[in-house]
Amino acid sequence: MIARLWKGCSAPETVGAHEEHLRGSTFPELSRIDGHESAFLLSRDPGPEIELLVSTLWNSLEAVDAFAGPDRARAVVPPAARQALARFEEPVAHFEVVLESAPLRS
């Protein structure tokens, strides 16, 4: 499994627009890509901007390529998302998931 990590920052007044873009557009699009496993948006507010971390999980690098294209290290940030961001990191990072924990069920 591959984790794709991307960081960005948003002003407090525009962070909601970015969340809505992910909820309404990006995350549904990801769910239609073969090999996409899950996606998360994490945020923290150290001030004055909101830091965002988007983590997506994929079953292979080929699945990542189906989303990102031939330059998988390039951040995929559509114009609507860019408008809600103060800045974002390029390139993105990819990590191999080597250990996973599952909740204990009784």
Identify whether the C-beta of residue 38 lies closer than 8 Å to the C-beta of residue 101: no
Q: Print the SS3 string covering the chain.
A: CEEEEEEEEECCCCHHHHHHHHHHHHHHHHHCCCCEEEEEEEEECCCCCEEEEEEEEECCHHHHHHHHCCCCCCCCCCHHHHHCCCEECCCCEEEECCCCCCCCCC
**Fold exhibited by the domain 2-96:** Alpha-Beta Plaits (3.30.70)
* pLDDT reported for residue 80: 86
Confidence tier at 101 by pLDDT (50, 70, 90): confident
Q: What is the pTM of this model?
A: 0.89
- Distance between CA atoms of residues 76 and 102, nearest Å: 30
Domain spans, the chain: 2-96
